Amino acid sequence: MVGARRSMDWGFPRWRGYSESREAATVRMCDRHGCDQAGICPAPKSPNSPDKWMFCQKHAAEYNSKWDYFEGLSKEEAASRAADEKRDNAGYAEASHYGWAGSGDGSRSADEMRALEALELEADADFPAIKKAYRERAKKVHPDVAPGDAAAAAEFQKLQVAYEVLRQAEDRREWKG
């Protein structure tokens, strides 16, 4: 085996570069006249056509800014399509409180929002504010303060349930990390 060369491909990870060839890589430029950025965002040239414009992000946003999803549809057809889209995507909206985000941005469940309403707090209230509001309101309607008052007892129970819902949600958030 005179002149045989060993392969430099040693398996994973690859020890040679991914583009060892010396040819220049072709970069498609933005199709907007006068733009010198790379065209990385495809946009259709016309409906139902495979031809696409290639824009940079800035010009793709400009191109799409006046795009109307319901163009050419009657009012009833547009309403029907919007209802279908809303129905099909409802699962994502329902599960949004399982996300990574913090409070006040759609991460609270409906039960948590009702509990915050019972404590008369905003959606972005943090747990120390929740605890403070619960204690202040519970002191006013506690059965020891208003013995025999059925309305106060019902209000106290409502506050207890609301606080428990929010406390458990806070514990879950802490547990997730």
User: How far apart (Å, rounded) are the C-alpha atoms in residues 106 and 123?
Assistant: 9
CA 155/CA 141 separation, integer angstroms: 7
Q: Please, is 71 exposed, middle or buried when counting C-beta atoms within 10 Å of its C-beta (0-12, 13-18, 19+)?
A: exposed
Domains of the chain and CATH, by start: 28-67 (no CATH), 100-176 (1.10.287.110)
Question: CA–CA distance from 109 to each of 91, 92, 133, 157 (Å)?
Answer: 13, 13, 20, 21
pLDDT value of residue 167 = 92
For the chain, 177 residues long, give each residue's pLDDT as a single digit of tens: 566 666 655 555 555 555 555 566 778 899 989 999 999 888 888 777 788 889 998 988 888 887 777 788 899 998 998 888 888 777 766 665 555 444 445 678 888 888 999 999 988 888 999 999 999 999 999 988 888 889 999 999 999 999 999 999 888 888 765
| Residue-level pLDDT at 137 | 93
Q: What is the per-residue pLDDT for 102?
A: 47
Q: Are 143 and 152 in contact (CB under 8 A)?
A: yes
For position 135, what pLDDT does the model report? 94
Distances (CA, A) of 15 to 4, 5, 25, 135: 20, 16, 21, 64
- pLDDT of the residue at 161: 92
